[in-house]
Every structure is written in structure tokens, then in C-alpha cells.
Homo-oligomer: A and B are copies of this chain.
Amino acid sequence: MNPESLITDIPALGVATLPSPLQKRADEMGSISFVSDQSRVLIEVDETRINRMIKDQKELHCFELAGPRHQIFFDPSKLKCALVTCGGLCPGINDIIRSIVLELHYAYGVQHIFGIRYGLQGFIAEYGHELFDLTPEAVVNIHDRGGTVLGSSRGPQAVDEIIDSLERMNIGLLFMIGGDGTLTAAKRIADAILERGLKIGVVGVPKTIDNDIYMVSRSFGFDTAVDVATQAIISANNEAEGYPNGIGLIKLMGRHSGFIAATAVLAQQDVNFVLIPEVDFDLDGPSGLLSALENRLASRKHAVIVVAEGAGQKFFEAGKHERDASGNIKLKDIGLYLKNTISSYFAGKGIEVSIKYIDPSYMIRSLPANANDRVFCNFLGRNSVHAGMAGKTGMLIGHWNNHFVHVPLKVIADKRKSVDPRGSLWRSALGATGQGSLKNS
């Protein structure tokens, strides 16, 4: 993070001049406060760096605080809104949909809210996907179920066709719930809308079970994912302890970052080796995993290994970067690769082992959110409505220093958060596993 280079101003469709319908309720309650655009949250909290910036008379970069504005841009009685969910499943998508719809409807009085079906495909006529009429009745119980009631799909669609579709439907405000690719698409759509001079707001809600959105301290579904990943660790440990030289191997989510893997080994401290994309490791050689594993079995008779799906990609031949429909590099399956490599290694040494491989990914992604993620989704959804109604665009709702904030999409584009190999999360994960460096010198 280099906050000195950030530009954190939020694009706007115009000046918000209409009184918020929340004012009436605020008067009734005597207790609802509005948030001003001047309420801003410091990005940097390290005293040393802050003091240096003050001394150097540099600007202290901040994010706008999220929340309801006194004045709004759109006339709720005329506004039509659309929601779309893209990419892989993640616990909490339905909570986001639900809270956006309920806030639009009950707090602002918006009458027309449409769900775009099956991700960006839903904008493209030839797919023939019908719209989903998002009434309060239709969404009130959807958070009991995992997945997304709107459906999703992977891969991009033409920005122009999407905007044409928005115009045809007369949409004024679009909520895009998705990851990297989706938020990049959201930025392009928002930019092109501004270029065309249209008054259509685009507000993103960052969805990544991997928790690796840049400048976003936490993304929804991550907590649920870690919660359930611990079940897989318990299972792997029971299988490992259950047999002579038992090895439990779990592949967890994390294409580019090891947040789930590193956090899960802290949540369920039965793991002996954790492998993540951010920290290089060897298989062979005196310090390599295989040797360390053999030592572990010799001394303790069983071992549990957690590997993030993006770890160890160096073991696959270069030059073969296939991409999936979303443009993500298709990862080679490090889980199966490890399983086979470990089996061969011990077979070659005449050591009988019992290796059990667990890949819980789809059982995790498709879960309903736990209570913590539900609360988080509720804030994300309602704050995205406040931002959108105020005419803000080209932004997402983030979470920083314990506050919900507005983050411009251009800040996060093409960047990614990762586990700091010198930080406290990885330090603690190493402490919990007791593993040494798996890198030959």
C-alpha cells in the first residue's frame, strides 16, 4: 500500500440536490444521522509514516465515509435499478441482494428493481435470459440459501452492449457484485457511461472469497469460508491420525493469496505444513517439503498439509497459461499434484503411507453466510444504496480501519492484496504449524 499515490475522489453523476426520503424517518426517530462527503477516514495509521507525511507537508489520503447523504441525486419515484452477480459463488451474495433491494424499496421508495440473470450474460439479448423482478417479497428469505438467486456466469461481455441494454431498460443505477474481473468491467462501464454523457450510476460490491481485493481490509464470505475450512482440517487430521503414516492433504481456496489457508490454520491448529502463493517452497532437497514431511512422519506418525490452490504453480511447465472464460489463468491443480508426488516419493522409498485428499471448495463457496458475514453484507448492501442514490459512480463499498468507505474503482483496478510474508498473519501461521522454511538455500 502506498497511500501517498492514491487518488480517492469519487466520481459523481451530478450534484445531489433532492432531499433524502430518510429525513422523514430521521425526524420520527430523532436519532438518524446523515454522513457528509467531508467525513473521511484516514488510510494510513502508522504513526511514523503519518508524522513523516505531516513533516513533509504531504496530503493525508483518506476514503470518504459511507452512509446516507442528506441530499440525493436520483428521484426514487422514477428510478429503475438493476443488480447483477458475476463470477464464482461466495457466501453472502444473497444477503447483498436482499439488503440492496430492501434499502432501495423501504428506505428510498424505489419501485422498480431488476435482477440481471446469469451475470453479464443477462445483458446480452442473444442469451435469452429473462429479468428477475426483485420485489421485497421475492428477496425476504433468500439469505437462508447459499449461492445467488440471480445466477451468475464467468467471462466478459461487450461494454457497449451492456450500456445499450441499460439504456433500453431505462436503468439509472446498476449494482455490480463481483470480483477482480467484474470490478474492472464495472470501471470500464462507468467510464464509458460518463463518456456517453448518460446518467447511470455504477456501484460495485467487491466479492472475493479469497479476501484479496486491494485496499479492502475484508470481503464478505471470507469469514464463513474460514469457518467451514476448519471442518476440512479436522477431517483431514482425523484421517491422518487414523492410520500409520497417515497424511491429510487439504486444498483450500486462494488463487493468488493465502489468506484463507493462513487464517484457517490459525482457526484449527492441527496443521503441520501450510503452503501459499506468496511464499516460495521446494519439494525436493534437504529443506524441501518431501524431506520435511518424511521427518515429521518418522517422529509423529502423521501429518496434515494445507495448500492454497495458487501455491506452487512453479512446478508446472511454463508457457502453458491457459485462461478460463473469466480470463483468469487456469491454475494447474496443486492439490492433486502434491497428492501424487507425495505418494510416489514414499512408494519410491518403500514407506507405506495413507494419504487422504480433501477439496472442500464447492462445499464452501455455496454455503449461506454465517451471522458475522450477514451483518457485514447488510452494511455493504445498504451503504452501496446510499452511495448510488447520492449519484456516486465508478466506486465500490470497502472496509478500512473498521469503517465502511467509498473506494474509487480506479484505485483497486489491476492490483491485489496479498499475505505479507513478514507480517503477523504469516508469523502466526508459522507458529501454529511449527514448520520451518521449505526452501533450499
A117-149 vs B, CB cutoff 8 Å, 1 = contact: the mask equals 010010000010100000000000000111110
Name the distance in Å between A189's Cβ and chain B's nearest Cβ.
Answer: 21
A227 contacts which of B366, B372, B421 (Cβ < 8 Å)?
A: B372
- Partner-binding segment picked from A178-186, A229-237, A289-297, A337-345: A229-237
Contact B362 A356 (CB under 8 A): yes
- Is A33 part of the contact surface with B, judged by Cβ < 8 Å? yes
Known: A358-B362, A402-B401. A371 touches B235 (CB 8 A): no
Interface range, A side: 35 or more
Contact B38 A239 (CB under 8 A): no
Contact B226 A372 (CB under 8 A): yes
Known: A28-B436, A230-B371, A436-B28. A235 touches B146 (CB 8 A): yes
Interchain CA distance A437-B32 in the complex, whole Å: 11
Closest to A44 in B: B42
- Is A220 part of the contact surface with B, judged by Cβ < 8 Å? no
A216-253 vs B, CB cutoff 8 Å, 1 = contact: the mask equals 01000001001101111011111101111000000000
Q: Which of A366-383 contact B (CB under 8 A)?
A: 366-367, 370-372, 374-375, 378-379, 382
Contact A242 B152 (CB under 8 A): yes
A227 — which chain B residues lie within 8 A by C-beta? 370-372
- Is A426 part of the contact surface with B, judged by Cβ < 8 Å? yes
- Partner-binding segment picked from A12-20, A73-81, A262-270: A262-270
A367 — which chain B residues lie within 8 A by C-beta? 235
- Is A2 part of the contact surface with B, judged by Cβ < 8 Å? no
Closest to A27 in B: B437
- Is A46 part of the contact surface with B, judged by Cβ < 8 Å? yes
Name the distance in Å between A16's Cβ and chain B's nearest Cβ.
Answer: 19
Contact A50 B60 (CB under 8 A): yes
- Partner-binding segment picked from A166-174, A306-314, A406-414, A427-435: A427-435
A424 — which chain B residues lie within 8 A by C-beta? 67, 379, 404
Known: A42-B42, A227-B372, A366-B234. A147 touches B239 (CB 8 A): yes
Name the distance in Å between A279's Cβ and chain B's nearest Cβ.
Answer: 7
A268 — which chain B residues lie within 8 A by C-beta? 371, 374
Interchain CA distance A247-B67 in the complex, whole Å: 33
Per assembly, the copies of the chain total 4
- Which of A50, A241, A242, A367 is the most central at the interface, judged by chain B CB atoms within 10 Å of its CB? A242
Known: A238-B89, A371-B227. A46 touches B54 (CB 8 A): no
Interchain CA distance A118-B352 in the complex, whole Å: 13
Contact B47 A40 (CB under 8 A): yes
Interchain CA distance A241-B140 in the complex, whole Å: 15
Name the distance in Å between A250's Cβ and chain B's nearest Cβ.
Answer: 10
Known: A227-B371, A239-B362. A382 touches B431 (CB 8 A): yes
- Is A321 part of the contact surface with B, judged by Cβ < 8 Å? no
Contact A39 B29 (CB under 8 A): no
A28 contacts which of B31, B44, B232, B437 (Cβ < 8 Å)?
A: B437
Interchain CA distance A238-B430 in the complex, whole Å: 32
Contact B45 A50 (CB under 8 A): no
Known: A103-B431, A431-B107. A151 touches B60 (CB 8 A): no
A358 contacts which of B29, B223, B363, B370 (Cβ < 8 Å)?
A: B363
A423 contacts which of B33, B147, B153 (Cβ < 8 Å)?
A: B33
Interchain CA distance A295-B235 in the complex, whole Å: 38
Contact A378 B50 (CB under 8 A): no
Closest to A435 in B: B29
- Is A193 part of the contact surface with B, judged by Cβ < 8 Å? no
- Is A332 part of the contact surface with B, judged by Cβ < 8 Å? no
Closest to A62 in B: B47
A68 — which chain B residues lie within 8 A by C-beta? 427
- Interface pairs (26), CB distance under 8 Å: A31-B421, A31-B427, A31-B437, A33-B423, A40-B46, A41-B45, A42-B47, A68-B427, A129-B244, A145-B238, A146-B234, A146-B235, A148-B242, A226-B371, A229-B371, A231-B363, A234-B366, A235-B366, A264-B371, A266-B379, A267-B372, A267-B374, A370-B370, A372-B372, A378-B428, A382-B431
